[in-house]
Each structure stands twice: as structure tokens, then as C-alpha cells.
């Protein structure tokens, strides 16, 4: 089939994948969304019980709203904070069934491989860049080849959580005790209530997901005596980033961190900080989790006993089905080299990223992009609004409108925390923005923390 008559495949029907389809349609291109789950928003459905920290005004995409407008869709209150379940019910599900997108989404269709037609990764051959993509799609027990003019991988990272083990690998015994370990944010006040009631649970991780899990457990402990919470961090308590509190541009996000910190300080939760997990064993009904309490390689070994573990230690991208794609990824962050320095938690903790688009997300494989949560690789600070701007820019590039692709606009709320260990001059400049590098320095507020046309943001950058 001629490449021009092929669809543009979007992998994943999460918020960013559906927005990508809307932007491609707006550009006169034909999207085909392949979703592994039984329904759209499959990953978000897994955290349906979690209240989001960004209000509706940051959670919907402009091109998607344009598709929804003629359907009689009522835009939710822009200042209200939905749960994940409400995001699906009030936005993603109506979007997927809108006349424009209906019939362009295949659910239960998992992408298991992508290549250029007749060109493995090694083969240059004539016309490699012009060859269409071939995706292998597993559905109903069979694998089918689907051809595409271009591909936007919006498959997220929810399916690849980081393990509890100190070295980035599963700790010995972690896999063998998987029946007692939950990854992510189980609904401990709802469907998983019986599992955690009256039990001791070890929560692992320091980000917003771990905070959410811990706060729900504290509420459960209030309701069910005997419920205990241990919370393991990689760092000493003084070095844990609980967020910007009242300085956070997203009030809910700031409050989440402040509440978590207060519970640790009050002793309602027993903090193990640092506690680097080396082994998970079983003693009857209990998990015995051993780790180093001072964080040193030759450090003192301690063991804690818990019936359950909740590991909320972040996520990593699944690159396995991209084996035949020519990718360029930062070796640590696993984001593109242009994006990685802007989001690398080793460089700074500012949750705000300079507006970026197709140019920063480009790989050597022309016509293939990774967008959404997965574009951030292992970095933790992704916001949906970032993904919506990414896919607007990518769709513009796919349609050949390079001026619109380059012109990226994004105003993100500050986290209120902005720290870097490096002098500004040591940080890389990106995209020609001198000192995007010095993300937090007032002198580059317009470059990093807010687009030049916008007023300087509050918080660390103000
Ligand atoms: C608990 C939690 C709370 C969050 N709260 C906020 C918030 O308040 N505000 C905010 O802006 N961001 C928030 N985020 C971050 C982020 O915006 C969301 O994770 C968002 O869902 C990312 O959208 P996405 O479309 O990139 O990926 P996802 O929502 O993860 O969607 C990816 C989709 O791809 C599918 N998929 C995966 N692999 C394949 C495959 N091989 N083939 C086909 N389909 C595949 C999945 O089933 C899934 O439906 C939160 C994240 C979490 C985990």
C-alpha cells in the first residue's frame, strides 16, 4: 500500500494518545489508535480512586475539546480536581466515543514490535526513511502486521514499575513474594481494603504515588486499629523532597507533600530513612525485608517485618518492542538527549520543564516519536499538559507544518521546589535557549520556568 494512504498509528489510548489522535485528525491525517487494554484509559483506570493534583483546566487537550464540543459534552469545572476515574468517565470515554474518533481506536490490541518495512535496525538500504512502519499487534491470541505512515508511541510507563531492590533490579526474593507486593497505588480504602486492614504495610518510594498510598493507609489505620505503616526511603529524612508545600503552583500537589511530611514528623508513620532494600524473604505470613539503614555498601543490615509491601518507586519505559527502532536516548534518564537535561532529577528538582515539542522528541528514526509519560523515560515529573503540547507539535510536524511544530507554548504550574547541585554553567543549554540550563535562576525565568510571553511564574522562579 502507498505510504500516503496508510494511517498514522498512535500506541496507547491514554490521555496523551487520544490527544495525539485528535491533533492528527485536526491536521487532516488519519489516526489509528492501538490500545492494549480492554478499554481506553486503561492505565488511568488502575488509579481511578486517586484524586489528581492538577485541576481540570490542565487535564484536557484543546484539539480533543474541539472534537467533544459538537457532541454536547459539558466541560467540567476548570478549577475542580478529578479522580482518575472521573478523568476517564468525564473526558477520555466521551472523547473515544465521539463521532470523529469512534472507529479509529482498537482496544485489546497490544503492540509487540515495530520496524521499518523490509529494513531491520541495521539495514540502511535505499529509501529506508521513506519505508512505511510495520507494527506487530497481538490481539485475541494472534499477531497481525499493521502498516503505518508514522508512529507516535504514547504507551506510558504504568506497565513497567520500578522494583523495590536497592540496585534498580528486583531484590532477591522480591519476585518470589509477588503475591504480597503491590506496585503502584492499590485502592486500600476500597477494593483492596480487606488486604491491608489490620496489617503492617511497608511502603517503598518517595514520590507522589508513595505519598498517596501512605495517606490512604493512614486513613485506614484510623478506621481499623492494628493497621501499621512503615515507609522506606532511599535517602536520609532530611534529604527527602516533600515538595514545595504552599509554594507549589498546584495546591493539591503541595498539600500532598505537606501532609505526608507532617505524618512522618508526628510518628503516625514509621520512617526508615535511608533504607536500601537488599532482600525480601518470607517467614510464615510475614515478609522479612532486609536492607542497609545507613545507605552505605558495608552498612548496618536491618530487617523489618510486614505482611504487605506497596512499591511506589516510579516507573521506567518499556523499550522492548522498540528494539528495531533507531532511537537516541540519554543513558541515565532514557529520554531523548535534548529533553533529558531538562527533567533529570540528578540535575534539578524543579518540576517545571521548558516548553518542548517535536524537535526535542525527535529520534534518528524519522516519522517515529515517543510522547506522553513515556517520553520522560525514568524522570518523575510528567504532567498531562506537557504531553498535550508535545503531540500538538508532533502532529504539526507530521503534516509538514514545521513553523507550527517549532512554536511550542506551555505554561506549567511550578512545584515550588527548585534545587540544583550544579553551577548553572555546568548544566547543558538546550534548544538554543541560553541557560535553560540554569532552570531556576531568575535570569532565565522566561526560558525555563515560563514562556517568554507569559508573566513570570510564582514559586522558585519568581
Ligand atoms: C497515580 C498518578 C496520578 C497522576 N496525577 C496526575 C495529575 O494530577 N496531573 C497530571 O498532569 N499528571 C498526573 N499523572 C501523570 C501522567 O499525566 C499520567 O500518568 C497520564 O496518565 C499519562 O498519560 P499517557 O497517555 O502518557 O500514558 P498512560 O495514561 O499511561 O496511557 C498509556 C496507554 O498505553 C497503553 N499501552 C501500554 N503499552 C501498550 C502497548 N504495547 N500497545 C498498546 N497499548 C499500550 C496502556 O494500556 C495505556 O492505556 C499521574 C500519574 C499517576 C500514576
| Local structure of 279: helix, strand or coil | strand
**Pick from 306, 14, 28: which is nearest to 182 by CA?**
306
Contact 410, 451 (CB under 8 A): yes
Instruction: Say how far apart CA 344 and CA 332 lie, in whole Å.
Output: 8
Q: What is the pLDDT of residue 298?
A: 67
Q: What is the pLDDT of residue 419?
A: 47
Q: Which helix (H) or strand (E) holds 271?
A: strand 270-272
Q: What is the pLDDT of residue 252?
A: 73
Could you tell me what percentage of the chain is helix, strand and coil, using 3-state DSSP and rounding each to the nearest 5? Answer: 30, 20, 50
Instruction: Say how far apart CA 394 and CA 406 lie, in whole Å.
Output: 9
Instruction: Say how far apart CA 353 and CA 361 lie, in whole Å.
Output: 14
Enumerate residues 6+ apart whose C-beta is below 8 A from 58. 250, 383, 384, 385, 412, 413
Nearest-atom number in ligand 1 for the CA of 58 is: 11
Could you read off the pLDDT of 90-135 as tens digits, one per residue? 999 999 999 999 999 999 999 999 999 999 999 987 889 999 999 9
* Nearest protein CA to atom 14 of ligand 1, as residue: 383
Instruction: Say how far apart CA 83 and CA 51 lie, in whole Å.
Output: 4
- Residue 100 Cα to ligand 1 midpoint, Å, equals 22
Torsion of CA 348, 349, 354, 357, to 10 degrees: 100
Q: Angle CA(154)–CA(156)–CA(160) in degrees, nearest 5?
A: 145
- Residue 95 Cα to ligand 1 midpoint, Å, equals 16
User: Do the strands 286-292 and 181-183 form a parallel or antiparallel pair, or are they unpaired?
Assistant: unpaired
Q: What is the pLDDT of residue 359?
A: 96
Whole-Å CA distances, 337 to 80, 331, 446: 36, 9, 22
- Please give the average pLDDT of every successive group of 10 residues along the chain, which has 462 residues: 87 98 98 98 97 94 98 96 98 98 97 96 88 98 98 98 97 98 97 98 92 94 96 86 70 80 89 94 97 73 94 97 98 96 79 82 97 96 94 98 92 59 37 36 30 29 25
The angle, 0 to 180 degrees and rounded to 10, between the axes of the packed helices 384-398 and 15-26 is: 30
- Residue 407 Cα to ligand 1 midpoint, Å, equals 25
Nearest-atom number in ligand 1 for the CA of 81 is: 8
Instruction: Say how far apart CA 452 and CA 444 lie, in whole Å.
Output: 9
Pocket lined around ligand 1, Cβ cut-off 6 Å = 11-17, 34-37, 41-44, 47, 50, 52-54, 58, 110-111, 154-156, 158-159, 185, 209, 321, 372-373, 382-385, 387
Q: What is the pLDDT of residue 253?
A: 77
Q: Which helix (H) or strand (E) holds 96?
A: helix 93-96
User: Which one of 18, 21, 43, 56 would you pick to mutate in the ligand 1 pocket, going by the greatest count of ligand atoms within 8 A of its CB?
Assistant: 43
User: Which one of 9, 10, 11, 12 would you pick to mutate in the ligand 1 pocket, going by the greatest count of ligand atoms within 8 A of its CB?
Assistant: 12
**Pick from 283, 270, 186, 260: which is nearest to 232 by CA?**
270
As separate numbers, helices (DSSP H) first and strands (DSSP E) second, the chain gives 13, 16
Q: What is the pLDDT of residue 235?
A: 87
- Residue 270 Cα to ligand 1 midpoint, Å, equals 30
Phi then psi for residue 236, to 5 deg, are: -65, 155
Q: What is the pLDDT of residue 296?
A: 63
Amino acid at each position: 500500500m502507498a505510504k500516503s494512504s496508510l494511517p498514522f498509528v498512535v500506541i496507547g489510548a491514554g490521555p496523551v494518545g487520544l490527544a495525539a489522535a485528535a491533533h492528527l485528525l485536526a491536521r487532516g491525517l488519519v489516526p489509528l489508535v492501538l490500545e492494549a487494554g480492554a478499554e481506553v484509559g486503561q492505565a488511568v483506570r488502575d488509579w481511578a480512586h486517586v484524586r489528581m493534583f492538577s485541576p481540570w483546566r490542565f487535564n484536557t487537550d484543546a484539539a480533543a475539546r474541539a472534537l467533544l464540543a459538537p457532541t454536547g459534552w459539558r466541560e467540567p469545572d476548570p478549577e475542580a480536581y478529578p479522580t482518575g476515574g472521573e478523568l476517564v468517565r468525564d473526558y477520555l470515554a466521551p472523547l473515544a466515543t465521539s463521532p470523529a474518533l469512534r472507529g479509529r481506536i482498537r482496544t485489546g490490541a497490544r503492540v509487540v514490535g515495530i520496524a521499518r518495512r523490509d529494513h531491520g535496525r541495521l539495514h540502511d538500504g535505499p529509501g529506508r526513511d521513506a519505508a512505511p512502519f510495520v507494527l506487530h499487534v497481538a490481539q485475541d491470541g494472534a499477531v497481525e502486521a499493521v502498516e503505518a505512515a508514522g508512529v507516535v508511541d504514547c504507551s506510558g510507563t504504568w506497565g513497567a514499575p520500578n522494583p523495590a531492590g536497592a540496585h534498580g533490579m528486583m531484590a532477591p526474593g522480591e519476585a518470589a513474594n509477588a503475591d504480597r507486593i503491590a506496585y503502584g497505588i492499590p485502592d486500600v480504602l476500597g477494593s483492596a481494603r480487606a488486604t491491608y486492614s489490620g496489617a503492617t504495610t511497608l511502603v517503598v518510594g518517595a514520590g507522589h504515588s508513595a505519598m498517596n498510598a501512605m495517606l490512604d493507609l493512614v486513613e485506614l489505620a484510623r478506621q481499623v486499629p492494628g493497621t501499621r505503616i512503615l515507609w522506606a526511603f532511599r535517602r536520609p529524612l532530611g534529604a527527602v523532597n516533600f515538595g514545595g508545600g504552599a509554594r507549589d503552583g498546584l495546591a493539591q500537589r503541595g498539600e500532598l507533600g505537606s501532609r505526608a511530611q507532617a505524618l512522618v514528623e508526628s510518628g503516625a508513620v514509621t520512617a526508615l530513612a535511608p533504607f536500601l532494600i537488599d532482600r525480601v524473604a518470607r517467614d510464615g505470613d510475614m515478609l522479612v525485608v532486609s536492607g542497609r539503614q545507613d545507605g552505605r555498601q558495608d552498612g548496618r543490615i536491618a530487617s523489618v517485618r510486614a505482611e504487605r509491601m506497596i512499591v511506589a518507586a516510579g516507573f521506567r519505559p518499556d523499550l522492548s518492542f522498540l528494539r528495531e527502532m533507531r532511537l537516541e536516548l540519554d543513558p541515565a534518564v532514557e529520554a531523548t538527549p535534548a529533553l533529558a537535561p531538562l527533567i533529570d532529577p540528578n540535575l534539578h528538582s524543579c518540576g517545571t520543564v521548558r516548553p518542548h515539542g517535536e524537535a526535542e522528541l525527535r529520534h534518528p528514526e524519522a516519522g517515529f516519536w515517543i510522547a506522553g509519560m513515556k517520553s520522560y523515560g525514568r524522570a518523575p515529573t510528567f504532567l498531562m499538559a506537557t504531553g498535550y503540547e508535545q503531540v500538538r507539535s508532533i502532529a504539526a510536524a507530521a503534516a509538514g507544518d514545521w513553523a507550527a511544530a517549532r512554536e511550542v507554548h506551555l505554561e506549567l504550574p511550578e512545584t515550588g521546589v527548585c534545587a540544583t547541585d550544579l553551577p548553572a554553567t555546568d548544566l547543558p543549554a538546550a534548544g538554543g535557549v541560553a541557560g535553560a540550563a540554569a532552570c531556576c535562576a531568575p535570569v532565565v525565568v522566561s526560558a525555563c520556568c515560563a514562556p517568554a510571553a507569559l508573566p513570570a511564574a510564582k514559586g522558585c522562579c519568581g
